[in-house]
Chain A
Amino acid sequence: MSFTYALDHLEPNRAHIVRLSGRLDSTTSLAFEKSLLELLANTGARLLLDLTQLDYISSAGLRVVLVAAKRSKQAQGHLVLFGLQPMVREVFEISGFLKILRTTSSLEQALATLDQA
């Protein structure tokens, strides 16, 4: 599979984590957007996106992240991304997304960010 994701729940931290893996591009992003927005609607107040295993993202993938971030904010939820690989981080930076999204290196930092929100 070119792209997979898994959902985790951190009970003590009252946070859900979506762990992405592989390539988020135009072939994989449509289905993931649908799933992610459903997740947000059902569980979404405190959501982390684990990007440590995400090897590649295109503008189609960025679109999904942006839609999710907007939806989260509209619902007064919190969304934090962590573990961006260097080239993925560069794409976020070029797109101006580092200014409008919360990103951290580690899970611990992401949880701390959620708690400060």
Chain B
Amino acid sequence: MLRIRCPWCGERDEIEFRYRGDASRARPAADAAPAAFHAYVYERDNPCGWHWEWWLHIGGCRRLLRIERHTLTHEIRVVTQAAQIPDGAGR
């Protein structure tokens, strides 16, 4: 059971949240080549290690969170609001 420290609600069980996928992909500019959109929509680094991801606090404040979590240990080391992108995170 993950415990996620929501910046608005405090520490809550994972069942209050819904996973919304890899948060490290940046949307290309509208006029970017198809290959850039293919990479954005379909390709995933899928690391065995630290991973930036979206979690929606659907059973709480209903905010979208951006979380850095380890995919082997499930340890969570950063939880931020969606728009706030930490230095050096993602790409």
A and B associate: no
Q: Which of B's residues lie within 8 Å of A, judged by CB?
A: none
